[in-house]
Amino acid sequence: MHPVLVLGFLLATSGFATAAGSNKLTPRAQNIPTPPSDISNPWGPNEFSISILHRSQPFSPSQFFRTAIGVLSELSQRDFNSMLPRPRMSWYETSAPRLTIAVASTGHNLRLPVRYVLWAIARLWQVMVRTNDFRTSVTDLKWQGAKVGTMSIINYRLEQPGTIPTNATSLPTTDPAAPQNAWIGFQYRSHGSLLPTADVYMGAIGALIQAAELTSARPPGQNIDRFEGGFPPYLATYSFESYVTPSRLSRLGLVASIVAATIYASEKNDWRELELNTTLDGEVVARGGYRRSGQVGGLGAGDGGGVSSS
């Protein structure tokens, strides 16, 4: 569908630009539609499972979270239902360079579906958060009980074909889906409730996986009117809505907005609810951010996400 691009974001100062009074953000929760009932949860169906074989070296949670966000910023732009280009691949986030996520299929010439890697990240990070145990590990990936591949979280960089660096802290140059490759920018305002750090990160992980699945189901080039996603039961819900008609919020713009909001909170160490404007060549084209969802409960509580397109 769309070309795979490495995402990153230039962090702006807190507060919105004041060039136009009409750009002032208002809460968007009441404008987000109820997600449809058939939206998948970010950890995938029951037929998919993981088995952690062993864990070893501990690292800070922030290293693991930044690595996951960087890797998902690349994976979420691939076709959700496509296969990885190689039987063995790895990713490392340049802002957290001590960790690498590596995957390998069970057969020499077999390739893993992209969605298996997305689901595995969701499930493995969920285990680490629940147990408060952030260590390098080796994990089997299974479909209907049969092993299909392995995911390794390692503390060194693999020098092999299929190794992809990601960067979640520098701005992508342009949006190729926008007219004349318009420049992507962001405006931020933190306010409201303070959220747990893990909830903001896990909400972003869920939203990125849902964005990959939902946008892959749309015709190529079709922009997004509204999106809402997260990772129940974690409290951060990410939502974005087009500010112009017709919508100019592309798949890249949506992924960029989710990651930009998360990295801004991390860089500023400000975990309050966040409002965000997405701009193209300085013009506001979408509004959103993340808010406290208020959902509580165990794994599987709440809705998985929703999108509508124009």
Burial 54-71 (b: 16+ CB within 10 A, else e): ebeeebebebbbbbbbbb
Per-residue 3-state assignment (H helix, E strand, C coil) for 76-105: CCCCCCCECCCCEEEEEECCCCCCEEEEEE
Q: How confident is residue 159, by pLDDT bands cut at 50, 70 and 90?
A: confident
State how far Cα 40 lies from the chain centre: 15
pLDDT at residue 173, as a whole number: 56
**CB-CB neighbours of 147 under 10 Å:** 12
HSE value, Cβ hemisphere, 13 Å, CA-based, for 172: 28
pLDDT score, position 17:
32
- Output the pLDDT for position 48: 96
- What pLDDT shows up at residue 11? 32
Question: Considering the domain 48-164 in this protein, what is its CATH number?
Answer: 3.30.430
299 has pLDDT over 60:
no
CA dist 157 and 129 (Å) reads 24
Stretch 56-83: mean pLDDT: 94
> Between residues 208 and 217, which one has the greater pLDDT?
208
Mean pLDDT in residue range 9-38: 32
pLDDT, tens digit (0-9, with 9 covering 90-100), for 253-288: 999 999 999 999 999 999 999 999 999 999 999 999
The least confident of 80-94, 126-140, 169-183, 202-216 is 169-183
- Give start and end residues of each alpha helix (H) in the chain: 61-75, 114-131, 197-216, 251-268
Per-residue pLDDT averaged across 31-41, rounded?
A: 42
pTM: 0.82
- Give the separation between CA 209 and CA 9, rounded to whole angstroms: 19
The mean predicted confidence, pLDDT, of the chain is 82
Burial of residue 30 (number of CB atoms within 10 Å: 0-12, 13-18, 19+): exposed
